[in-house]
Structure 1
Amino acid sequence: MLIGYARVSTQDQDPALQLDALHAAGCDRVFTEKASGAQRDRPELLAALDFMRPGDTLVVWRLDRLARSIKQLIETVESLGERNIGFRSLTEAIDTTTSGGKLVFHIFAALAEFERAIIRERTVAGLQAARARGRRGGRPPALTEKDLTAATAMLADETITAEDVAKRLGVSPSTLYRYLPGGRSALREKMAEGKAPKRR
């Protein structure tokens, strides 16, 4: 059986063009969805996949109707292949039930893998260049040296709570104490010794 899947992104869009094309292609049944392509949970797509049996073919009007990204598209089509279910896209003339269609789809897969490899290489190169300039990658610290100085002064006042200080600095009390190990009592000892608190 040919099973069609049509999708539009909003309630205002009309799936008529897709439905006409799918029926013209000979689909025995068509599942229609109104949902963003970014959504993983698409009930009608899940229903179509559950309905299909080995030997069936899933048909879409265009590739982006099935998936938002090439990675998502490849994962979906590969899962269909594992169930001996074909895939066909009318606009791009891709049909994995034919040898030529499988070749075209594998080219898509190779391009996607190449793109991921390029992104990884650029990321590594960027981090190496940053380290060479004395910068480190990763998340910036939640509290700066200036913040720690302000926190030290505020926590020295018994009337100001750690919660008040954390709220003023825009962090949680646990984050504040992570930067000031030992809490207020340790802070008092360090101030008595004339030592400023240090970040971990």
Structure 2
Amino acid sequence: MKAFGCHVVRAEEPASPTADESAVLTSIIDFIGEGDQLVVTRLEHLARSTRSVLDVIDRLEERGASLFVVEAQLSSEGAEGRALRAALEAVSAVEPAWIARRRKGAPAAEEIKALQDAGVGPVEIARRLGVSRMTVWRKLRALEAS
């Protein structure tokens, strides 16, 4: 990263499957200033879903900063940035909710059971949690068996 002109370099272990956003990324965004650029090696190292990437770009822009992705040679600045945002928004619009959910981790059986106890049907539970109906049925059966 120093070879790309980065003055401050932060690295972290791979995020846990249930982490929404890393503490390192949060501190970087809190610290970053106008005219600064957040440099990441790969876009998927920034966030777990396309919507989350867009949220990070929004937060950077609020602070007057930008994003640069080394591997793809992409920047969030200028015309290239507008094209990047348009592409990410298009992907985000069609990205199924379960993709982002899967990256965060499957719902706990207790979460599914609580919704069922509240009178929510399996199909609606699956829709709310962004998982398949089979996942809901499997987790409910496992709870009944235990």
Q: Give the shorter-chain TM-score range.
A: 0.5 to 0.7
Report whether the alignment pairs 1:139 with 2:122.
Answer: yes
Structure with bigger helix share is: 2
The aligned counterpart of 1:34 is 13
Query: Do 1:86 and 1:96's aligned partners in 2 also have CA atoms closer than 8 Å?
Result: yes
Question: Which structure has more RCO (C-alpha within 8 Å, separation ≥ 6)?
Answer: 2
Report whether the alignment pairs 1:113 with 2:93.
Answer: yes
Letter in 1 for 2:3: A
How far apart are 1:116 and its partner, in Å? 5.0
**What TM-score, normalized to structure 2?**
0.60
The higher radius of gyration belongs to 1
Letter in 1 for 2:78: T
Q: Which contiguous aligned blocks of 4+ residues in structure 1 show a shift greater than 3 angstroms?
A: 114-117
Query: Do 1:53 and 1:85's aligned partners in 2 also have CA atoms closer than 8 Å?
Result: yes
Out of 54, 68, 71, the residue aligned to residue 74 of structure 1 is 54
Work out the CA distance in 1 between the residues paired with 2:21 and 2:91.
26
What fraction of aligned residue pairs are identical, expressed as a percent? Answer: 27
Alignment of 1:36-51 (within 5 A): 36=15, 38=17, 39-51=19-31
How many residue pairs get aligned? The number is: 102
How far apart are 1:102 and its partner, in Å? 2.5
**What TM-score, normalized to structure 1?**
0.45
Query: Do 1:60 and 1:88's aligned partners in 2 also have CA atoms closer than 8 Å?
Result: yes
Gaps of 5+ in 1: 1-21, 118-136, 141-169, 171-200
The aligned counterpart of 2:68 is 88
Work out the CA distance in 1 between the residues paired with 2:58 and 2:16.
18
Letter in 1 for 2:121: G
Work out the CA distance in 1 between the residues paired with 2:121 and 2:87.
34
Gaps of 5+ in 2: 98-119, 124-143
Report whether the alignment pairs 1:101 with 2:84.
Answer: no
Query: Do 2:40 and 2:70's aligned partners in 1 also have CA atoms closer than 8 Å?
Result: yes
RMSD between superposed Cα atoms in Å: 2.6
How far apart are 1:69 and its partner, in Å? 1.2
